[in-house]
Amino acid sequence: MNDSDYISEYQTENDALYKRIERATSEILRMVLIGKSGSGKSETGNALLGQKKFKADISASSVTQSCECKAGSLFGQKVLITDTPGIFDPTARIDDTQIEIAKFIDLTLPGPHVLLFVLRVGRLTQEDADTLVKFKEQFGGAVEDYLVVVFTHCSELRKRQTSEEEFIQTAKTAIPMFQKLKNRFVFLEHDPDYPPIEQDNQLKKLLDVVQRVQRENGDTCYSNDMYETRLAEIQEQKLREEEERREKKRKKEEDRNRELEKARQEGQKEMREMLEQNTKILSNVSLSKNQLLKRKKLFWRNRDSKY
Ligand SMILES: Nc1nc2c(ncn2[C@@H]2O[C@H](COP(=O)(O)OP(=O)(O)OP(=O)(O)O)[C@@H](O)[C@H]2O)c(=O)[nH]1
Ligand SMILES: [Mg+2]
């Protein structure tokens, strides 16, 4: 399968569910973008795909309204990226978070290899910390093992004369969950005026970190009760559908056999009727033969008596 086939296949989101689970090999790196609204999730997704596939814009409200999944290639590595609206952002207004969470699970089945937590370089707030806590509360599982932190707007650091290392230390103080993370911080700049070669280097570093995390996790993917329940549901549904298919086939065969039997019986009936008719005709013929003989005898008797 070449890249374009692979991409078009994964663009039809609904009927690709089974296929996606079946083909979810380690060959395809599945990443999920989470983070506060406006942090740069969609822009990061576009950078990873090398194309503007997700809508990214400045807005006071959420630009991305629903989870979306797109495929692409990053330095030859096939990637499947799921962009999310700020589902876990305490200030974001998403019409139905539960529906979005269900969609998120379906799009990322059997689970992402890495969770990219996107933050904007700047003053980290309680909201940023709460977004991650909310994600952990909703999803559970070993979130930290699969977490990679992506800081966008990184040219801000230069303006503030702060090094990446210093900023990571600040971030670790602001967001306690970061303290457990070792070498899992990546800086990106999506400003179109930023040197493309530097953007490429940043993306290469991100891919290196992600692939290291994947290796550290033994190529497993992030999972939790929701993924397991959903996978069990899908498995059950698949078995049910197979059973229904078998039952339909059995019924079809039964109907065909019934029709064959009916045709056979009708054929026999026709044959019987034909035989009966033939017997009647034959008996009529033999009857008239007898009568002819009788008449012949009578004629000869009458003639003999005359002479
Ligand atoms: N200069 C600059 N702009 C950025 C950077 N990252 C994101 N932006 C801009 O910030 C705005 C918001 O980015 P998005 O990617 O739409 O943010 P989001 O997290 O997807 O937001 P929601 O979809 O609302 O949750 C867009 O106008 C982006 O172009 C960056 O590193 N540098
Ligand atoms: Mg977005």
**Domain map of the chain by residue range?**
3-223
Residues in the ligand 1 pocket, defined by CB under 6 Å: 35, 37-43, 56-58, 62-64, 85-86, 152-153, 188-191
If you measure from the C-alpha of residue 63 to the centroid of ligand 1, how many angstroms do you get, rounded to a whole number?
9
Closest-CA residue, ligand 1 atom 16, reads 56
pLDDT of residue 234: 79
Sequence-distant (6+) residues with CB within 8 A of 258 are none
How far apart CA 10 and CA 20 sit, in angstroms, is: 8
Q: From the CA of 189, give the closest atom in ligand 1.
A: 31
Phi, psi (rounded to 5 degrees) for 31: -125, 150
If you measure from the C-alpha of residue 184 to the centroid of ligand 1, how many angstroms do you get, rounded to a whole number?
21
pLDDT of residue 129: 87
**Structure token pair of residue 43:** 């822009």
pLDDT of residue 19: 64
In CATH terms, 3-223 corresponds, of 3.30.70.2190, 3.40.50.300, 3.90.1580.10, 3.40.30.10, to 3.40.50.300
Three-state DSSP class for 273?
A: helix
* Ligand sitting nearest the alpha carbon of 43: 1
pLDDT in tens, the chain (307 residues): 454 444 444 444 445 566 666 666 658 899 999 998 889 999 999 999 999 999 887 776 777 778 899 999 999 999 999 999 877 766 666 567 778 888 888 888 888 999 999 999 988 888 888 888 888 888 887 889 999 999 999 999 999 899 999 999 999 999 999 999 999 999 999 999 999 999 999 999 999 999 999 999 998 888 888 888 888 887 888 888 889 999 999 999 999 999 999 999 999 999 999 999 998 888 887 767 788 888 888 888 887 777 6
What is the arrangement of strands in the sheet containing 28-35, beginning at the earlier edge strand? Answer: 68-74, 77-83, 28-35, 114-120, 147-152, 185-187
If you measure from the C-alpha of residue 52 to the centroid of ligand 1, how many angstroms do you get, rounded to a whole number?
12
Closest-CA residue, ligand 1 atom 4, reads 190
Phi, psi (rounded to 5 degrees) for 188: -130, 150
Residue 141: what residue type?
G
User: To test ligand 1's pocket by mutation, which of 34, 43, 49, 159 has the most ligand atoms within 8 angstroms of CB?
Assistant: 43
User: To test ligand 1's pocket by mutation, which of 34, 36, 37, 42 has the most ligand atoms within 8 angstroms of CB?
Assistant: 42
Assess contact for 44 and 118: CB atoms under 8 A. Answer: yes
Query: If 0-12 CB within 10 Å is exposed, 13-18 middle and 19+ buried, where does residue 258 land?
Result: exposed
What's this model's pTM, rounded to 2 decimal places? 0.75
Residue 22: what residue type?
E
If you measure from the C-alpha of residue 59 to the centroid of ligand 1, how many angstroms do you get, rounded to a whole number?
9
Assess contact for 224 and 115: CB atoms under 8 A. Answer: no
Q: From the CA of 192, give the closest atom in ligand 1.
A: 1
pLDDT of residue 94: 58
If you measure from the C-alpha of residue 65 to the centroid of ligand 2, how many angstroms do you get, rounded to a whole number?
8
Apex 303 CA angle, 299 and 305, nearest 5: 120
Residue 112: cis peptide before it, omega within 30 degrees of 0: no
How far apart CA 114 and CA 79 sit, in angstroms, is: 11
pLDDT of residue 3: 45
User: To test ligand 1's pocket by mutation, which of 36, 57, 83 has the most ligand atoms within 8 angstroms of CB?
Assistant: 57
Query: If 0-12 CB within 10 Å is exposed, 13-18 middle and 19+ buried, where does residue 144 land?
Result: middle
Rg, Å, the chain Cα set: 39
pLDDT of residue 93: 63
Closest-CA residue, ligand 1 atom 21, reads 38
Apex 24 CA angle, 50 and 34, nearest 5: 55
Closest-CA residue, ligand 1 atom 25, reads 37
**Cα dihedral sign, 74-76-77-83:** positive
